[in-house]
Structure 1
Amino acid sequence: MNHTDLIKKVEWKDLKKLSLKEMLIENNISVPWLLISLFLAFKGYYFAALPFSGFYFLTALRQVHNGFHNSLGTGKFLTWLSMNSISMIASVHAVKFNHIRHHKFCLSEEDYEGKSASMKWYQAIFYGPKHLFLIHWMTFKLANRKCKQNMFLELISISVFVFIAFYFKINFLIYHISIMFFGELLMAFFAVWTVHHDTHNHPEIARTQRGFWKNKLTFSMFYHMEHHLFPAVPTIKLPELAERIDKVLPELHKKQTF
């Protein structure tokens, strides 16, 4: 069964709509984690801040990822504003440009985001710095003028933010910058390899995750097969989409993320 046949068998278009509560969640899900992590770091409790920083990075990624696919339930300006996440220490618009190409050219030579999927797990980890550079470099080479402008605006803003933090020795911000940069270096492993390795025969059928607590702890970010089949569906709706797929297509072979 090919990609088109799968889509035809599952009802999904109603899942694109968000209630007011769902829209508020999707647009603010990262805020509590950021505030708690910064507060703990400000007080000098860096080890206590670490899990909150990790959850901030994950939820911020969820938030901007929904923005990539216009799934935040807001207009263009608010979506653009939500995606200008200086605090993630990378150009979100550069990530968006490559992510949309990833969906279009999934695991092919033109898919620069997906390069680490064909590597061993440890190679994907060490590939992280090159992945981060390539995401920005390919945006500079291939993106349109507006996308490049957004990327440079973000990079300049990030540079100013980093300069202020280090020049004035604002320790809790230096901590945050360091953790976020470390997270960016692991993106080739966590955001690409984990969900796409050993799926090259059927790139559109990415790995997915089942298990209530696993998906709660990862904020539904590993329903990746569901996302690739129906990218317009917001993350908050992916558990329901997964149930529909399992019911309609029980024979579909699903590789687990972990």
Structure 2
Amino acid sequence: MATDFQLTPAQRRLELARPWVLLLGYVGLAGAGWWWLAAPLVVIVCLAAFVQMHDAMHNALGLSKQANKRVLTLSGLLILKSGHGLQVTHLRHHGRCLTEADPEGAPATWSFSRVLWQGPWHTLMLRREALRIAPNTKRIQLLETGLTLALLVGFEALYYFAGSAIGLVYWGVAFLMSATMPIWASYVPHHVSARNPAARTAAALAQAWTPITASFAFHHLHHHYPRVPTALLYRAAAELPPPPEEEHHH
């Protein structure tokens, strides 16, 4: 059963710490002036934050309700998102997958060229849709949105007063990751079959405890077992009944 797949305390600590340890690594590399390593590391930070935020959306981390809400907010901030806003549209995606009532999944039904030019605007549109779908979460959504803007102001101040670009570079790369999310978090997972060589490679890597690749390799499985933590999807793929893949690949 899917409920058998729960993180151990040690695994939970690792899942909670991963994006923040990577963030510290970025700060250290950037502070040393090693930008050729620091800037790409921001991409990895954002992907790790996305995995953590995604697990929090599904209450898959084994945390209390309040702790899970805090993780959802903080991990969302790492990729300049309202975690609670994305939770609204993501749960709608699971409930009405790739229908007209699924704003998050819309890019998966578009041509790739349309995703490229319309994706960034779609990212902004999802904020509006989240407020429309769940007006009861308006306060926390607006607070989280305000915090992402406050980060930009703070990073600009850091550059102006201290001459440090550490914050602005992070914000810039994270903004790019956020703007392209319709590509790597919607279009690609719904168009790459589990039998695709890239997906098979990602599945093999996931066995070495790499939740970022697991999120990509087992996307179809996640739709059927959303409460399984991303880091344990590789085990679930081996032990749970396989889902009909065609439901989520168009």
The amino acid of 2:61's aligned partner reads L
* Corresponding residue of 1:64: 53
**By how many angstroms is 1:43 displaced?**
2.5
The amino acid of 1:193's aligned partner reads Y
Q: Alignment partner for residue 186 of structure 1, among 167, 180, 187?
A: 180
CA distance in 1, matches of 2:226, 2:17: 20
Q: Alignment partner for residue 166 of structure 1, among 128, 134, 156?
A: 156
The amino acid of 2:214's aligned partner reads S
**By how many angstroms is 1:191 displaced?**
0.2
Q: What secondary structure, in the 3-state scheme, does the structure 1 residue paired with 2:25 have? A: helix
**By how many angstroms is 1:42 displaced?**
2.5
Closer, same or farther in 2 for the Cα pair 1:126/1:38, shift >3 Å?
farther
The amino acid of 1:225's aligned partner reads H
* Corresponding residue of 1:8: none
**Structure 1 stretches of 4+ moved >4 Å:** 251-257
The amino acid of 1:230's aligned partner reads Y
**By how many angstroms is 1:237 displaced?**
1.2
> CA-to-partner distance for each residue in 1:199-237, whole Å, 9 max, x for gaps?
9xxxxx9x9932355435634111101100100111121
**By how many angstroms is 1:32 displaced?**
1.9
**By how many angstroms is 1:178 displaced?**
0.3
Name the structure with the higher helix share.
2
Please report the TM-score for the alignment, with normalisation by the length of structure 2.
Answer: 0.85
> CA-to-partner distance for each residue in 1:25-60, whole Å, 9 max, x for gaps?
222221221111122122332221133211111110
The amino acid of 2:23's aligned partner reads L
Unaligned runs of 5+ in 2: none
CA distance in 1, matches of 2:4, 2:105: 30
Alignment of 1:1-258 (within 5 A): 11-15=1-5, 17-85=6-74, 86-145=77-136, 147-169=137-159, 170-197=164-191, 209-211=199-201, 212-215=203-206, 218-222=212-216, 223-245=218-240, 248-249=241-242
Identical counterparts, % of pairs? 23
Q: What secondary structure, in the 3-state scheme, does the structure 2 residue paired with 1:192 have? A: helix
What RMSD in Å do the two structures reach over aligned CA positions? 2.6
The amino acid of 1:64's aligned partner reads M
> CA-to-partner distance for each residue in 1:42-86, whole Å, 9 max, x for gaps?
233222113321111111000010000001111011111111132
Please report the TM-score for the alignment, with normalisation by the length of structure 1.
Answer: 0.83
Contact 1:62–1:235 at 8 Å: present in 2 too? yes
The amino acid of 2:63's aligned partner reads T
Contact 1:64–1:83 at 8 Å: present in 2 too? yes
Contact 1:127–1:188 at 8 Å: present in 2 too? no
Q: Matched residue pairs, number? A: 236
Closer, same or farther in 2 for the Cα pair 1:40/1:198, shift >3 Å?
closer
